[in-house]
Structure 1
Amino acid sequence: MPKPNRPLPLGTPAGVEVLTKILTQGPIPRVQIARRTGLSQAAVTKAVAPLIDAGFVTDHPAVTEETVPGRSELGIGRPVSPLTVVADSVSVIGLKVTPTDLIGVTTDFKAGIRAVRHRQLPDTSVGTVLERLADLASELIGTLEDKTDPAGPLVGIGVAVSGDVDAGHGYVRDSPFMGWRNVPVAELLGEKLDVPVVVSNDVRALTVAEHWFGVGVDADSFAVVTIGSGVGCGLYVNGEVVQGAHGVSGELGHLPLAPGNLVCTCGRRGCVETVASSDAILARIRETTGQPELDLSGAIQLAHRGDAHAREAFDRAGEVIGSALAAMVNLVGPELVVIAGEGVADYDLYDQRMRQTFAEHAFGAAGDCRLMLRSHTFDDWARGAAATVIRSYVRGESPFKR
């Protein structure tokens, strides 16, 4: 695998830890980094010096403690020079794959989106998708060369796919939505583009983005539950996004909590997705209303107007999701659950039933877990793929071994 265009000057675990703190919590003074990592200030200074010299980190002009968050940790009136990552020091591309579309973004080192591109897919065959992915990535690479908006060197490409993904080897073992089994995406796409490629489960990629650049920055533990064509779950506990011993974890959508006569896209019966996914909700409303041409937007409008059949479908989904959330929270105990997905803000229709069922089944203090409803776009999923590249790049993980 080719090396990134701009390798990081990180030779020790301390350097990785310091850069991670600056990236996720900056601007941040050296003294706070030392206190939060347990390193000495001398070790922090030693670790950050080559990063400043190479242009990855900048040392702001001295300011007083009153302008710095967490100023109580500093001596009164003492001037400090907070450290922050230079956003444009590198660029990253993130790609999200769905059965009908490809979504691509370019981001800076802080996962800030710079450019967005959407492309439709004619089919889900591996050859077609990889060819279109390569074309989309090449187009995004072209945007990085715009002289009017200069960007940093490209260091890698992230690809987010639903299903069972072996992230360590860049392999999609099983993606029911795509109809893929045992596809070496990183290898095949890397050969086409000659750029390091990181492949991740899409929900786990979104969780990495929340961990490094979102609600998870200050959280000890959290979960991201996504609701769309499927139902997924990413977990952050004990200081890390859970990968699972075999690359599978947090498969909330496949807990057997729905009626056993319902067959899931995975081929099993009674999965949460058979009732709670957007596809399942729409199918139920089409069936009960006798309107086979109804789309999801129309189904939501029906429910908002009080149609009994539409409301029943959303209530049923909310009840199953609430039970699944309670099961997950009882087992893992996160302090926060972010419920996300395309158009999830429209699903206030099942919010009350979901929270009611969750409260009924959450055990003891697990019921204190906060549930946060938040809409995400497909651009956010692609940004998650970029975030996995940033994490691997900083940590020196495959394919960025130093």
Structure 2
Amino acid sequence: MPTPTSGDGRRGANAAAVLRAVLDHGPVARSRIARLAGLSPAAVSRQCTDLTRLGLLREMPELVAPGAVGRPQIPVDLHPGTAGGPLAAGVHIGVPQSTFCVADLRGRILARGSFRHEGVPAGVLPDRVGRALAEFITPYVGGGRLLGVGAVLGGWVDPGRATVVRHDALDWHRLPLGAELERHTGLPVRMDNHARAVAQSELLFGRPEARRSLVHLFVGNVVDAAVAIAGVVHRGPRSAAGDVAHLPVPDSTVVCPCGRTGCLEATVSDTALAREAVARGIVPEESAALIVDAAASGDRRADELLRQRARAVGRATGLLLDVLNPEQVVITEQSSLLEAEYLAEIRAAAVAHSHVCDDPERIVVPHAGPAALPVAAVTVLLNPLFRSPLQTLGKTDAMAPSQ
């Protein structure tokens, strides 16, 4: 027989249901929250009181409709960071640079910064990133508003141990990065692979259909993926799920360092793209951003190179569609985030190569657009809060019982 849910368990589940309803529909009256969450009005009232005490919700009496009577009609919403509400810090550690941000409970970016990695040896890079992050968040530390730090990067990341198991491009192996960032910032740190974090960001803040089933394909200097079913991102044993670097790309003849031909990362990564652009004389140095800029300035050679990559990404997407047949495929790839034409190339190639998908609209870019990675970083911190707000903030013992 299933174990009955304890009073504390019901209380935590109810708090999460209320917080989720407010995230999706706020500002929203308590009476409507009760209908959305399937809870009694009394339970909703108690949870709103608890969540307001924790600083997560705020009453908005100024939005009460004329003629409305009684407190249940007063809308509540997530406490905005611009009005003294909680904040989350995030860091995306890429190959050329780290990007920092501070965001509110809805994942809306309030401040951004960056730290370039050029000339910094792999062995000291974690320390330098930690120092730069600590300096960036200094104006937001104090008063208990900053909940912690979410950190994301490519490669094999073990979230439970806050460890980078393997990131070949950065030459990091078995690196306890979470502890390093905590040492510098003095804040709790949560970590995950960037592909899984973007997928989780779509589940938390993105389109509703993503909560049924989702595949996310990340194309940068690292190429990896994530799968989510029924609102849960799959990690697999040892958190190793999502390694698609050697997924075969139909028609690709690029030789991979592994010795095979046509592997996905060797074909479409930013590193491969930039190397090819330099070889063709399109840009003077190996930089994917320069290729995108050149194409935007009218360089037809840069445009065609980006289209070639988009078609290769699309062919790989077609394979993923056939294997997993998700409701939605999210593609994080620089050119398609900025220009719809490259997303159209990905969609056309995917549908042409897929045996199960004839709807190109199932293939989308992240809801946050070019801010996808900073938003994904703060999502790593915020997702546990929305799943279990009372436990995550560690104040359940101090609060009056409710259910």
* TM-score tier (shorter): 0.7 to 0.9
After superposition, the C-alpha distances for 1:275-328 in whole angstroms (9 at most, x for unaligned) are: 222332333344456987575466554795544xx6764454333212221222
Q: Normalising to structure 1: TM-score of the pair?
A: 0.78
Partners of 2:215 and 2:358 lie apart in 1 by: 13
1:204 aligns with 2:174: no
Tell me the matched-pair count: 376
Partners of 2:338 and 2:52 lie apart in 1 by: 45
Partners of 2:50 and 2:64 lie apart in 1 by: 23
Partners of 1:222 and 1:401 lie apart in 2 by: 29
After superposition, the C-alpha distances for 1:124-143 in whole angstroms (9 at most, x for unaligned) are: 65542222222223223322
Q: Using a 3 Å threshold, how does the CA distance of structure 1 residues 80 and 164 change in structure 2: closer, same or farther?
A: same
RMSD of aligned residue pairs (Cα, Å): 3.7
Q: Which residue of 2 aligns with 1:213?
A: 205
Q: CA deviation at 1:52?
A: 2.1
1:283 aligns with 2:275: yes
- For residue 200 of structure 1, give the secondary structure of its aligned residue in structure 2: strand
Partners of 1:66 and 1:355 lie apart in 2 by: 50
Q: Which residue of 1 aligns with 2:168?
A: 176
Structure 1 runs not aligned, ≥5 long:
1-9, 68-77
Listed as ranges, the matches of 1:154-165 within 5 Å are: 154-165=146-157
Among all aligned residue pairs of Structure 1 and Structure 2, give the percentage whose two residues are the same amino acid: 23
Q: CA deviation at 1:205?
A: 1.8
Give yes or no for contact 1:26–1:84 (8 Å, CA) kept in 2: yes
Q: Which moved more, 1:130-139 or 1:218-227?
A: 218-227
After superposition, the C-alpha distances for 1:62-118 in whole angstroms (9 at most, x for unaligned) are: 634999xxxxxxxxxx98333211123222110111222121111222222222221
Q: 1:327 pairs with 319, 322, 326, which one?
A: 319
Q: CA deviation at 1:392?
A: 2.2
Structure 2 runs not aligned, ≥5 long:
1-9, 395-403
Q: Which residue of 1 aligns with 2:28?
A: 28
After superposition, the C-alpha distances for 1:164-218 in whole angstroms (9 at most, x for unaligned) are: 1111221111112211111111123223333111011112222222322233587
Q: Using a 3 Å threshold, how does the CA distance of structure 1 residues 220 and 52 change in structure 2: closer, same or farther?
A: same
Q: Which residue of 2 aligns with 1:73?
A: none
Q: Using a 3 Å threshold, how does the CA distance of structure 1 residues 299 and 66 change in structure 2: closer, same or farther?
A: farther
Q: Normalising to structure 2: TM-score of the pair?
A: 0.78
Listed as ranges, the matches of 1:11-22 within 5 Å are: 12-22=12-22
- For residue 263 of structure 1, give the secondary structure of its aligned residue in structure 2: coil
After superposition, the C-alpha distances for 1:238-257 in whole angstroms (9 at most, x for unaligned) are: 12233334313344443122
The residue type paired with residue 219 of structure 2 is: I
After superposition, the C-alpha distances for 1:6-39 in whole angstroms (9 at most, x for unaligned) are: xxxx952221232233234422333443333333
After superposition, the C-alpha distances for 1:24-58 in whole angstroms (9 at most, x for unaligned) are: 44223334433333333332222222112343212
Q: Using a 3 Å threshold, how does the CA distance of structure 1 residues 58 and 101 change in structure 2: closer, same or farther?
A: same
Give yes or no for contact 1:342–1:377 (8 Å, CA) kept in 2: no
- For residue 234 of structure 1, give the secondary structure of its aligned residue in structure 2: strand
1:95 aligns with 2:91: yes
Q: 2:103 pairs with 107, 110, 126, which one?
A: 107
